[in-house]
Amino acid sequence: MLQFILKRLGLALLVALTVSFISFILLFLSGDPASALAGESATDQDVAAIRELYGFDRPMLVQYASWLFDALRGDFGESYYFRLPVASLLAERLQVTMLLGLCGISFALLTAVPLGVVAAIRPNSMIDRFALFLSVAGQALPSFWFGLILIVAFSIKLQWLPASGTATWKHFIMPTIVLGYYAMPAIMRLTRGGMLEVLSSDYIRTARAKGASEGRVMFKHALRNAIIPVVSLAAVQMGFMLGGSIVVESIFALHGAGYLAWESIARNDLPTVQALILVFSMFYIVFTFLADVLNAWLDPRMRAG
């Protein structure tokens, strides 16, 4: 088991390094960083001054190496755009994103798991159909559109909820729903599928035969087994939410890490983008790693892989 974990950890680190290198190269390919930083109203002199100031005239590999060297010592440098330490910028923006991600995944789990269970207990019932409809809609609705519909309904028509900002807990309600709803269908279908499979298995029949109550059969025996793949799926979804809430953050003006990443790419703010990519890939790696370990712990056959 330890060997498995170490092997996985080494692989994860290699992935992180590769991701950071590729993204660095891609940023350079996407346009002259000095022009992007200088902005659209810059004159030739402005661009030249910025190129020299940040050393963009050095070879790309040298620039990457110098970034990596500093990053390994924990120094992510200063944002070219904001002129503030990247670390403090990230700390501030990640709070919003992590809060949103936690709310989103909780919302998804709290709605998807019960619905999935009920749908499995009564397959093809009205509830099952309703759950199917919800999940199809959730998969099909683009989040920018769903977000705007919620804004029209709850901010403009009913005036119950604020449309943008992070000032109060009320500001997080709509973003949570939009973000969580996107993750919900997969979790629900997986719960339903898992439950259906488990419910028809022998040990459930045994449990029923020995006279266990229906509630005990459902939650103690069935759900506990059916939920295992759901946990690993939720872990991956969580990684996605932390790195991929760009659209939601932009619509609701949340100023989290996703939006910062999106904007920093457009601005070619290399230190910020590099640090964010490292953090995002770490999220993915940590969550998939946890899911792997969890699965391996549950199923010894996977430890070989």
Least separation in angstroms between residue 115's CB and other proteins is 30
Nearer to other proteins, 47 or 184 (CB): 47
Least separation in angstroms between residue 34's CB and other proteins is 8
Nearer to other proteins, 13 or 266 (CB): 266
Least separation in angstroms between residue 262's CB and other proteins is 9
Nearer to other proteins, 94 or 218 (CB): 94
Least separation in angstroms between residue 94's CB and other proteins is 14
Least separation in angstroms between residue 67's CB and other proteins is 19
Least separation in angstroms between residue 176's CB and other proteins is 16
**Whole-number Å distance between alpha carbons of 183 and 110:** 12
Q: Give one DSSP letter per residue of the chain, joined into a string.
A: -HHHHHHHHHHHHHHHHHHHHHHHHHHHHTS-HHHHHH-TT--HHHHHHHHHHHTTTS-HHHHHHHHHHHHHTT---B-TTT-SBHHHHHHHHHHHHHHHHHHHHHHHHHHHHHHHHHHHHSTTSHHHHHHHHHHHHHHHS-HHHHHHHHIIIIIIIS--S-SS-SSSGGGGHHHHHHHHHHHHHHHHHHHHHHHHHHHTSHHHHHHHHTT--HHHIIIIIIIHHHHHHHHHHHHHHHHHHHHH-HHHHHHTT---HHHHHHHHHHTT-HHHHHHHHHHHHHHHHHHHHHHHHHHHHH-GGGGG-
Nearer to other proteins, 47 or 223 (CB): 47
Cα–Cα–Cα angle for 301, 304, 305, rounded to 5 degrees: 100
Least separation in angstroms between residue 238's CB and other proteins is 25
Nearer to other proteins, 98 or 196 (CB): 98
Nearer to other proteins, 240 or 252 (CB): 252
Nearer to other proteins, 192 or 267 (CB): 267
Kindly provide the b/e burial profile for residues 177-196, where b requires at least 16 CB atoms within 10 angstroms of the residue's own CB.
bbbbbbbbbbbbbbbbbbbb
- Where do contacts with other proteins occur on this chain (CB under 8 A)? 30-33, 35-36, 38-47, 49-50, 53, 81-84, 89, 148, 151-152, 155-156, 159, 162-165, 250-253, 255, 259, 263, 266, 268
Least separation in angstroms between residue 188's CB and other proteins is 29
Residue pair 120/188 in contact by the 8 Å Cβ criterion: no
Nearer to other proteins, 170 or 220 (CB): 170
